Amino acid sequence: MTGWLAPLAFTAPWLLTALVLLPAIYWLLRVTPPAPRRLAFPPIRLLLGLENTEETPDRTPWWLLLLRLLVTALVILGLAGPILNPGERLGGTGPVLLVVDDGWASAAAWPERVRAATDIVDRAGREGRPVILLTTAPPAAGTPVAASDVLTAGEARARLEALDPKPWSTDRPAALAAARATAAAGPITAIWLSDGLAGEAAQALTTLLQRAGGLTLVNPDTGPLLLRSPEGDGRALVATVVRGPADTQTEAAVTLRLLAEDGRVLDRQDALFDAGARSARTRFDLPLEARNQAAAVRIEGITGAAATALMDERYRLRPVGVVVPETGDQVQPLLAPSFYLEQALAPFGAVTTAPLADLLDGGDQAAIALTDGPGLSEPARQRLTGWIEAGGVLIRFAGPLTAADPDPLMPVALRRGGRSLTGALSWAEPMPFDRFDPAGPFSDLTPPPEVRVSQQVLAEPSAELAGRTWARLIDGTPVVTARALGRGWLVLFHVTASPDWSDLPLSGLFVDMLRRTVALAEGVDSPAGGVALPPIVTLDGFGRLQEPGGTVRALPAEAGDAVLGPRTPPGLYGTADYRQAFNLGDMVEMPAAAFDPPAGVPVRGYAVAETVALGPWLLAVALALIALDTLIALGLRGRLVPAFGKRKPVAGMAALIVMLGAAGAIEPATAQSVPQIRAEERDLLAATGTYLAYVRTGNPDVDAMSQAGLDGLARVLTARSSVEAQGAFAVDPATDELAFYPLLYWPILPRQPDLSAAAVARLNAYMRGGGTIVFDTRDQPQGGFGGRGGPRGPAAERLIDVAGSLAVPPLVPVPPDHVLTKSFYLMQEFPGRFEGGDVWVQTADVAVNDGVSMVVIGAHDWASAWAMDAAGRPLRPVVPGGDRQREMAFRFGINLVMYTLTGNYKADQVHVPSILERLGQ
C-alpha cells in the first residue's frame, strides 16, 4: 500500500477501501440539487406557471461536485491515518528485542535516545509486533539486569517514558546473559541503542543478537565526555575532561562551569582538546571568597552524572593559624609581624589569629605560622611536634629573641646572634636572594633583585644543611630551611615576619613562598578511619542532586573499596562535619578503543526523521472545505445577499462557522485574549493614573494571566492601601514608553526571544530612571534559580542569558532587613503560586534611585496567585496551597508596589520603633 510513496504509511489502511464509494457519492451528489429556500408568498397565484420560463440548472455545478468529492476523499484519507516518514520496516521475525544502554554514557543525549527508542516501538506497534525491552545498566532498585516480559507497544512506550539514565556503568556481561536467555525462547529481531563504548562483552552481545535473528546497531555520532574530579593547584583548581575514543581526531572545546552550592556560576572556563588528545584540562583561578564557595564543576550544556564533579571540603582553602602572644601587648599593630603574615596568607588560606594553645586546641589548622618570640616551653614543643607529625606545617620566623636564645624546635641548629649586613659598623650591603634550588618547593619562583636581607639568623654548618635549605642569599647563606617531621614539615624563615630584617614581607615573593609552603600541609583530616560514610545527597543520571533513595548504602571508608553502582551512586557522603565527594569521573574509565561492530551488522545513527501524522491536517482541510461548501450552498440559495431575506446574519454566521472550524481544527483552545487598547489612549491613561504594567510575551495564556494577576493586585491595592491602582496594561519594551509605570512585571518564558537593541535601550533607561522590573521565571518547581547546586529551571536559564544584555546590577537574595520585607506588611517569605526559593534584588551598595532595586527576580509565578475573576475568586490554585499562601502572595504584591512607589522611605530609622512595636518586641 505504500510502494508508490515510500515515506508515507497508513495506520488504518483498510479504511482506504471506502474510496471505492466515491463514484457512488458522485452519482448521489449529481442527482441531488441543492435544497431550495422555502418562502411564503401571498400572490403565489401570479407566480404559477412561471417555473419553466428559463432553462436553469437544477443540478449541482460540476465544481461544487468536485469540491464535495474532494472533501469526502480527504475525510477518508484522514481517517486512514497517513503518517509521513514512518521509517523502514523492522524486518526479521519474532518479537523486537530493544536493547538500550542506559549507563552514564547515555545521559548526554538521552531525549534523543528515548525518541529513537520510541520511534522503534511505534514502528513495532504499527507492524503489530511485541517488544522486549532490555536495559543494560543495573536498575536503581538494585535488581539484576534482566530482559522485560513480552510487551505490547503501548506498555513498552510507557516503560520508555519512565526510563532514566543511570549514574553508573552498564553491565554488559549481565545483559549478555539476559539476552542469551531471551534468544533461547525463539527468534527475535534485535535493535541495540548503544552508547558507543566498547566494553567487555560488547562483541559477544553483538554476535549473539546477530545470530538470534538479526541485529541493527544504533550508534551515537559522538562519544560521551567524562569529567574527573578537579585537583587543587595552589589557589587554582584544575579540572580534567576525558573524551571518547571515537572523537579524538579533531580539536574541540568544552566549557566548564564552576558552581557554588546555590547554583551560582563562579567561573566559566573553556577546556580545549588538541587534535589526537584524549583529555583536556582547564584552570579555575579565583579570588579566595569565590574559591571557597565552589561546590561542583559541570560541563556546560551537557547533562549527566559524568559531566558533574562534586567538590567536598578537601578543596577548601587550608586553614592557617597565626600565633599571637597571649598577652596581646602589641602596641603598634602595623608593625606587628602577625599583621604581615595575615596579609600574606589571606589570598590562599583561611587565616585564624589566636594564641598558640588555642590554635592547637582548635585542632584543624593545616599550617601554623609562629613569629619571633621567647623559646617555646617543653609541653608546647611536644604538642607542636605531635601536630606536625600528624601532617601539619609549622612556619617559624626568626627575630631578635630567637637569635638570642634559639629553642630546639628548628629545622637546623642555629648560631646564637645571627648576623647584620647593614649598620654603621658593617662593611656589607643588604644582600638579595640567590636563584631558588630547582629541587625545592620554590623552584618555579624568581626572586626579584630588590628584595634584600639586611639581618638574619645563621645556621650551624652541618652535613644535612644543604639538603634542608630551600632558599639562599647570593653568598650561599641559607635564608629558608625546612625539615620533614613525620607527615608534616617544620619550616624556618631566618628573618623576621616584619620588615625589620628584610624587604621580604613587603614583596609578592613572600606570598608565593608562603603559599607553596602551606600547600605542603595535608589539610583536613578525615574522621577516624574505618567508618563507613552515609549518603547525604546523590546524583541521578542527569547529574541532578537528589535525596538518596532507600537502596543507597553507606560509602566504605577506604577509597579503594567503593564500587560505583546502585548501592553507592555518585554523590556526597559523610556527615554534616565531614563530607566526601564520590564522583563518577574517578570511578569509571573511558575505553581506550572505539567500539567496532563486526562486519555485517547494520549501523545507523540516532537521528530519526520526524514522523508526522497527516490525518488531523487532512481532516482540518476537509473541515475548512465543508465550511466553504456551506458558504457556496448559501450563495446558491440566495441567502448571502442581505436584500430582502429576513435573516441577514446568515453570511456572518457562515463566516463564523468557517473561522471556528479552522480555529478548532488547527489551534484549539487559545480563546482567552487580552483587551486591546490604542497606544495613545493607554499612555494618556497611564500618565494620569497609577497603572501597573507587564511585558507582553506573545503567549496568550501567559499574557491573560499577567493581565488578570495585575488587575487583581490593583483591586487588592485599592481596597487595602492608599494606592489607587487603576489596572494594568501590556507593554512591549521595544516600542512602548515605559516611564509611566512604577513597576514592570515580566514573566519569562523558556523561549523568551533575545531583546532587540531598542528594547535594551528602553529597559536600561527605565531602570536608570527609577523603574523596577520584576522578572518572574515561574519555574520554581523545575528548579527556579537553583539551590544546593541543583540545576536551574529552563526559564531561569533563559533569563540569565537574556538579562546579560541589560545593565542589571549585582544581585543578592533579599536580606532580612530589606525594605521589601517591611514596606507595608512585615514579611520574610515572598510566595506566589509557588513558595520556597529566593527572591533576588540588587545589592545594598548600589546607590542609585534611593537604593530601590532596579530588578526583583523570582520564580514564584506571582501573577497566577494574584489573578482573580470579576467576583474576586482566584483563578489558579497556589502550590502547595492554602489561604495563607494566597494572602502572603497578595501581601508581597502590595509590598512590592509600595516599595516601587515609596522607595527607601521605610528604611528610615524613624520607623524602627513602630515596626518593633508591631513585631511585639
Partner 1 sequence: MDVDPAPAGRLAAAAHRLTEPLPPLLVAAERVANTVALGIHGRRRVGVGETFWQFRAYMPGDTIGRIDWRQTAKRDTPFVRELEWEASQTVHLWRADGPGMGYASARAAGSKRARADLLLMALAILLDRAGERVALLDGENPPATGRSNLMRLAAGLAAPIADRPHDLPTVRPRLPAHGAVVLAGDFLAPLPEIEAALAGLAARRQRVHVIHLLDPAELALPFRGRIRFHGLGRMAGTDTLIPRVDSVRPLYQERFEAHCAGLAALCRGLGFRLARHTTDQPVESALMGLAQGLAAR
How many C-beta atoms lie closer than 10 Å to residue 166's C-beta?
Answer: 27
Distance of closest approach, residue 673 Cβ to partner 1, in angstroms = 34
Q: Among residues 34 and 903, whose Cβ is nearest to partner 1?
A: 34
Please choose, out of 6-14, 40-48, 318-326, 481-489, the segment that lies near partner 1 by the rule CB under 8 A.
40-48
Q: Is 259 helix (H, G, I), strand (E, B) or coil?
A: strand
Q: Among residues 36 and 877, whose Cβ is nearest to partner 1?
A: 36
Binding mask 777-816 for partner 1 (x = CB under 8 A): ----------------------------------------
Distance of closest approach, residue 69 Cβ to partner 1, in angstroms = 22
Q: State which of residues 14, 31, 38, 676 lies at the interface with partner 1 (CB under 8 A).
A: 38
Alpha carbons 457 and 496: distance in angstroms, whole number: 9
Query: Which residues have C-beta within 8 Å of that of residue 86, sequence separation ≥ 6?
Result: 2, 7, 8, 9, 123, 126, 611
Q: State which of residues 31, 46, 141, 331 lies at the interface with partner 1 (CB under 8 A).
A: 46
Residue 44 in the binding site for partner 1 (CB under 8 A): yes
Alpha carbons 684 and 404: distance in angstroms, whole number: 87
Distance of closest approach, residue 638 Cβ to partner 1, in angstroms = 2
Distance of closest approach, residue 59 Cβ to partner 1, in angstroms = 11
Please choose, out of 38-46, 201-209, 357-365, 773-781, the segment that lies near partner 1 by the rule CB under 8 A.
38-46
DSSP assignments along 845-883, one per residue = T--SGGG--SEEEE-S-HHHHH-B-TTS-BSS--SS--H
Q: State which of residues 20, 48, 334, 919 lies at the interface with partner 1 (CB under 8 A).
A: 48
Q: Among residues 49 and 333, whose Cβ is nearest to partner 1?
A: 49
Q: For residues 616-675, which are near partner 1 according to CB under 8 A?
A: 636-639, 641, 643-646
Q: State which of residues 14, 41, 63, 427 lies at the interface with partner 1 (CB under 8 A).
A: 41
Task: Report in angstroms the alpha-carbon separations of 133 from 425, 638, 740.
Answer: 93, 64, 61
Spacing of C-alpha 449 from chain mean position? 49
Residue with C-alpha cell 538470534?
212
Alpha carbons 537 and 723: distance in angstroms, whole number: 47
Residue 424 in the binding site for partner 1 (CB under 8 A): no
Residue 51 in the binding site for partner 1 (CB under 8 A): yes
Please choose, out of 17-25, 47-55, 236-244, 349-357, the segment that lies near partner 1 by the rule CB under 8 A.
47-55
Residue with C-alpha cell 560541563?
299
Q: Among residues 211 and 648, whose Cβ is nearest to partner 1?
A: 648
Residue 56 in the binding site for partner 1 (CB under 8 A): yes
**Residue 230 is placed in which grid cell?**
578537579
Q: Among residues 461 and 638, whose Cβ is nearest to partner 1?
A: 638
**Residue 782 is placed in which grid cell?**
523545575
Residue 440 in the binding site for partner 1 (CB under 8 A): no
DSSP assignments along 731-742, one per residue = E-TTTS--TT-S
DSSP assignments along 881-910, one per residue = --HHHHHHHHHHHHHHHHHHHHGGGGGSGG
Q: Are 698 and 724 in contact (CB under 8 A)?
A: no
Q: State which of residues 4, 31, 45, 275 lies at the interface with partner 1 (CB under 8 A).
A: 45
Alpha carbons 573 and 534: distance in angstroms, whole number: 5
**Residue 474 is placed in which grid cell?**
647570593
Q: State which of residues 20, 24, 57, 560 lies at the interface with partner 1 (CB under 8 A).
A: 57
With 0-12 / 13-18 / 19 or more C-beta atoms within 10 angstroms meaning exposed / middle / buried, residue 403 is buried
Burial annotation 650-667 (CB, 10 A radius, 16+ → b, else e): bbeebeebbeebeeebee
Q: Among residues 51 and 681, whose Cβ is nearest to partner 1?
A: 51
Distance of closest approach, residue 40 Cβ to partner 1, in angstroms = 6
Alpha carbons 75 and 696: distance in angstroms, whole number: 39
Q: Among residues 508 and 642, whose Cβ is nearest to partner 1?
A: 642
Distance of closest approach, residue 649 Cβ to partner 1, in angstroms = 13
Alpha carbons 68 and 71: distance in angstroms, whole number: 5
Distance of closest approach, residue 692 Cβ to partner 1, in angstroms = 50
Q: Among residues 70 and 640, whose Cβ is nearest to partner 1?
A: 640
Size of interface with partner 1, in residues (CB under 8 A): 31
Q: State which of residues 47, 331, 334, 593 lies at the interface with partner 1 (CB under 8 A).
A: 47
Q: Are 568 and 549 in contact (CB under 8 A)?
A: no
Beta strands in 736-839 (DSSP E): 743-747, 772-776, 811-813
Q: Among residues 42 and 128, whose Cβ is nearest to partner 1?
A: 42
Distance of closest approach, residue 758 Cβ to partner 1, in angstroms = 54
Q: State which of residues 14, 53, 529, 593 lies at the interface with partner 1 (CB under 8 A).
A: 53
Q: Among residues 75 and 654, whose Cβ is nearest to partner 1?
A: 654
Residue 37 in the binding site for partner 1 (CB under 8 A): yes
Distance of closest approach, residue 61 Cβ to partner 1, in angstroms = 12
Q: Is 614 helix (H, G, I), strand (E, B) or coil?
A: coil
Q: Among residues 57 and 675, whose Cβ is nearest to partner 1?
A: 57
Binding site for partner 1 (CB under 8 A): 33-34, 36-48, 50-51, 53-54, 56-58, 636-639, 641, 643-646
